[in-house]
Amino acid sequence: MGIAVIYGSSRKNGNSDQLANLLVEEFEADKIHLSDYKIEPIRDYRHSEKGPYPDDDYHQVLERVLAQDVLVFTTPIYWYGASGLTKTFIDRWSQSLRENREEFLAKFATKTAWVIGIGADEPQIKGLSLVQQFQHIFDFTGTKFAGYVLGKGNEPGDILQDAGALAAVEDIRSKWRL
């Protein structure tokens, strides 16, 4: 079981990073910080001649994601949704659908995904639309949506005081140990 963590924060070691790091600390994981890469917004050629896609790090990042079986999307909850970094990366999947739809979907259909969202403003309630969005995404890609953790964090380190989030993380780890 290979794990990729896709970090959507613009900051290293913020609350969402910390919780994801705790989750994988005893496992090998490919840690992919989206903020380390240049990933431009999708260009939408669905209804036109396929033009050039941005010449950036998208394919390289996607390759690393697709190389693992278990995907952990971890994002701060910005404005009640995934961070722009996370969303912009996912939007680019439409490029892959255009370039090689069958292969892209076949690969995602073999994967299991978890979502971590950390926010300051009632994340367990106001983060639910984030979860529902990921549910639709994984329904589309055929990916097994194994679960999610919505945790509370505002000041750095807060998340390590959120007993519910820590328990949820421990629950996932105990499943992975099997």
**With respect to its own copies, which residue has the nearer C-beta, 2 or 156?**
156
Question: Residue 77, Cβ neighbours under 10 Å: how many?
Answer: 27
Q: Which residues would be at the binding site for its own copies (CB under 8 A)?
A: 9-11, 14, 35, 41-44, 46-48, 76, 78-85, 87-88, 90-91, 93-94, 121, 124-126, 128-133, 135-137, 140, 145, 147-148, 154-156, 163-164, 167-168, 170-171, 174-175
Non-local CB neighbours of 91 within 8 Å, separated by 6+ positions:
41, 42
**With respect to its own copies, which residue has the nearer C-beta, 2 or 38?**
38
**With respect to its own copies, which residue has the nearer C-beta, 28 or 174?**
174
CB of 102 to its own copies, least distance (A): 18
Q: Give yes or no for a contact between 173 and 23, defined as CB atoms under 8 angstroms apart.
A: yes
Q: Give yes or no for a contact between 114 and 148, defined as CB atoms under 8 angstroms apart.
A: yes
**With respect to its own copies, which residue has the nearer C-beta, 28 or 51?**
51
CB of 47 to its own copies, least distance (A): 5
Q: Give yes or no for a contact between 68 and 3, defined as CB atoms under 8 angstroms apart.
A: yes
Q: List, as one string, the DSSP characters of 75-114.
A: EE-BTTB--HHHHHHHHTHHHHHHHHHHHHHHHHTT-EEE
CB of 24 to its own copies, least distance (A): 18
Please tell me whether residue 60 adopts helix, strand or coil conformation.
helix
CB of 37 to its own copies, least distance (A): 11
